[in-house]
Amino acid sequence: MTENKLPYNLRFVVRDYECDLQSVVNNANYQHYLEHARHEFLISKGVSFAELHNAGIDLIVTKVEIEYKFPLRSRDEFIVTVDIQREGNVRLCFIQDIYRLPDLKLVAKAKVTGAATKKGRPVSPGNLVLRLGLES
Amino acid sequence: MTENKLPYNLRFVVRDYECDLQSVVNNANYQHYLEHARHEFLISKGVSFAELHNAGIDLIVTKVEIEYKFPLRSRDEFIVTVDIQREGNVRLCFIQDIYRLPDLKLVAKAKVTGAATKKGRPVSPGNLVLRLGLES
Amino acid sequence: MTENKLPYNLRFVVRDYECDLQSVVNNANYQHYLEHARHEFLISKGVSFAELHNAGIDLIVTKVEIEYKFPLRSRDEFIVTVDIQREGNVRLCFIQDIYRLPDLKLVAKAKVTGAATKKGRPVSPGNLVLRLGLES
Amino acid sequence: MTENKLPYNLRFVVRDYECDLQSVVNNANYQHYLEHARHEFLISKGVSFAELHNAGIDLIVTKVEIEYKFPLRSRDEFIVTVDIQREGNVRLCFIQDIYRLPDLKLVAKAKVTGAATKKGRPVSPGNLVLRLGLES
């Protein structure tokens, strides 16, 4: 895969404190990277995670699937991609990959399913879907 | 489900720093809980994650699937269960659930697939399988 | 120092994900331990950090001083102590030590200064001081 | 203070997972920011933290003092500065400030004292001192 064919993506560098005693990035930190890339993606579409929260709507993650292909190490640079699909009436599905730079080696593949909720109950992502350019 | 029918499990309490601005435990932290429970489980079976690492063998996670059912909040007490299955020749599969206490409300369901590696290559978990009481 | 002469203290075990590539607990995580012990101490005195926040009052940390004496490693057990002093009209000062178990080796010494704030401005800890058994 | 008079500095953006239930960056995460900026500073001087570790030398932090002046919130951009001084024969002292962007509002002031160690014992930072441009 070449970098100019990639979907939305965000660039990171591994910080030493993200590595654990196996000298690689701790598995849970990939979820942090994925989350930060999703939030920046949503903001690039005009959707603020924090503003939504203040308005009583939370975008919550209902399912995470991550395949770990190759570990990131201290100071590796990498990108996290974000693509989005609608799934049924209330779910949004984020397809996210992590590639090391500059060789674009595949580090991890993830599928993150989310839902919009109000007071803990699922609501139609309605307006969100329009902003994200998905068919309503 | 009643607590005395549960498989191996470890008790935790949510620490405030584990909660994010949605006032619930951040999704990535569930992976920390799951990891800590797996490591304690392995130690209870005589398998030390850190000692294995010093001997050149790393137990790595190749895939994580987590379904988030109900969020944990500040100071909630909960347990993380660990059950293990063999999958093919080189993979071990951990089935892990998280239940809030004292009502045993289901918080999350996870399946974590792991492999033993030496210098980055998969090796048969062999000896491990015996210690864990799985058929070889 | 013997354990039965210690002030309020909370017991922990190092979780592997808290260690970094130097194979010791990452420095920032000691601040997590200290925070969790302070919150549990406050709760033991009837002061809920999360409830205060919902009532518009935040206990904020204004200064942290930590001396690192000896590193904690994977699976070490340890205690974090909490003692409290009033400092002037608006500040509370937490004196906290970390000792490894079972030898009570000194791991870290900390002084954490805090203040009560409402809408970002310092307020007298008043009621808090009474609950914490400090002279008002 | 204007940005072009600042010492070495590194730019960051707050990631949502770094905020806690008070909706501000959790105190311990400032230590992460400070650490990452120090490591990048050292690398800019040709000193690799991870390579040193592999050569048996660890740069350890012996003391951290942080004054929290103003909290960072979701998506704030900020810089972390790094200045270094020698302290006696075996200690290095990092003077670090955090400023929010674009207004350069002071967020935190820190002094981090470190020492070079080999097998747990302090050694003269010798060669390091030269690379860092400090008088030996």
Q: Look up residue A4 and give its DSSP letter.
A: G
* Interchain proximity C16–A20, CB inside 8 Å: yes
Residues with Cβ within 8 Å of B110's Cβ and at least 6 positions away in sequence, in order, are B30, B34, B64, B65, B66, B67, B94, B95, B96, B97, B98
pLDDT of res. D102 = 97
pLDDT of res. C68 = 97
The nearest alpha carbon in chain D to A16 belongs to: D36
- Name the more confident of B136 and A85: A85
For testing contact with chain B, the best of A24, A25, A68, A98 (most B CBs within 10 A):
A68
Q: Copy the structure tokens of residue C101.
A: 């178990």
Q: What is the mean pLDDT of residues C30-42?
A: 96
Nearest CB to A35 within list B27, B35, B65: B27
For testing contact with chain D, the best of A14, A17, A34, A53 (most D CBs within 10 A):
A17
Nearest alpha-carbon partner for B86 in B41, B136, B122: B136
User: Quick count: other Cβ atoms within 10 Å of Cβ B121?
Assistant: 8
Q: How many Cα atoms within 13 Å fall on the side-chain side of residue A61?
A: 26
Q: Across the strands, what pairs with C123?
A: C116
User: Quick count: other Cβ atoms within 10 Å of Cβ D130?
Assistant: 11
Confidence check: pLDDT of C83 > 60: yes
Q: What is the mean pLDDT of residues C118-136?
A: 73
Q: How confident is the model at residue D7 (pLDDT cuts 50, 70, 90)?
A: very high
| Burial state string for A62-76 with b = 16 or more CB within 10 A and e = fewer than 16 | bbbebbbbebbbbbb
* Interchain proximity B16–C36, CB inside 8 Å: yes
Which pLDDT tens digit goes with each residue over D41-76? 998 988 876 677 777 888 889 999 999 999 999 999
Residue type at position A88: G
Q: Across the strands, what pairs with B5?
A: none
Confidence check: pLDDT of B130 > 80: no
- Active centre residues of D (catalytic): 20
Q: Across the strands, what pairs with B122?
A: B117
Contacts of C50 in chain B (CB under 8 A): 16, 23, 74-75
Distance of CA A99 to the CA centre of its chain: 13
Between CA C62 and CA B78 the distance in angstroms is: 32
Which pLDDT tens digit goes with each residue over B6-19? 899 999 999 999 99
| Burial state string for B18-29 with b = 16 or more CB within 10 A and e = fewer than 16 | bbbbbbbbbbbb
Contacts of D39 in chain A (CB under 8 A): 15-16
Confidence check: pLDDT of B96 > 80: yes
CA angle D38, D95, C29 (to 5 degrees): 55
pLDDT of res. A55 = 78
Between CA C102 and CA D21 the distance in angstroms is: 34
Q: Are B15 and B74 in contact (CB under 8 A)?
A: no
Q: Write out the DSSP string of D18-59.
A: GB-TTSBB-HHHHHHHHHHHHHHHHHHTT--HHHHHHTTEEE
Residue C10 has phi, psi (to 5 degrees) of -125, 140
Least confident residue range of A83-87, D52-56, D110-114: D52-56
Here the ipTM equals 0.91
Cα dist. C1→A40, C12, C84, C101, D120 in Å?
A: 50, 18, 19, 12, 24
Confidence check: pLDDT of C97 > 80: yes
Q: Is the peptide bond prior to D102 cis by the omega test (within 30 degrees of 0)?
A: yes
pLDDT of res. B59 = 83
pLDDT of res. D111 = 98
What is the least distance, in Å, from the CA of A77 to any CA of chain D?
Answer: 13
Confidence check: pLDDT of B107 > 90: yes
Confidence check: pLDDT of C29 > 80: yes
**CA end-to-end span of chain A:** 31
Q: What is the mean pLDDT of residues C17-44?
A: 94
The nearest alpha carbon in chain C to A27 belongs to: C17
The nearest alpha carbon in chain A to C20 belongs to: A20
Q: What is the mean pLDDT of residues A71-94?
A: 92
Least confident residue range of A31-40, C74-83, C127-136, D30-39: C127-136
Q: Are C29 and C78 in contact (CB under 8 A)?
A: no
Q: What is the mean pLDDT of residues B64-90?
A: 94
* Interchain proximity A63–B58, CB inside 8 Å: no
Which pLDDT tens digit goes with each residue over A98-108? 999 999 999 99
* Interchain proximity D21–B23, CB inside 8 Å: yes
Nearest alpha-carbon partner for B106 in B96, B93, B92: B96
Round the average pLDDT of chain A to a whole number and report it.
Answer: 89
The nearest alpha carbon in chain B to D26 belongs to: B17
Residue type at position A79: I
Contacts of A22 in chain B (CB under 8 A): 53, 58, 60
Active site residue A83: no
Confidence check: pLDDT of D4 > 70: no
Between CA D127 and CA D136 the distance in angstroms is: 9
Q: How many Cα atoms within 13 Å fall on the side-chain side of residue C21?
A: 24
Q: Across the strands, what pairs with A61?
A: A114
Contacts of A31 in chain B (CB under 8 A): 27-28, 31
Percent of all residues in chain B with a pLDDT value above 90, rounded to a whole number: 59
State the pairing for strand pair A91-101/A77-87. antiparallel
Given the residues B16, B20, B83, B97, select the one marked as catalytic. B20
Residue C77 has phi, psi (to 5 degrees) of -100, 145
Q: How confident is the model at residue C126 (pLDDT cuts 50, 70, 90)?
A: low
Contacts of D74 in chain B (CB under 8 A): 21
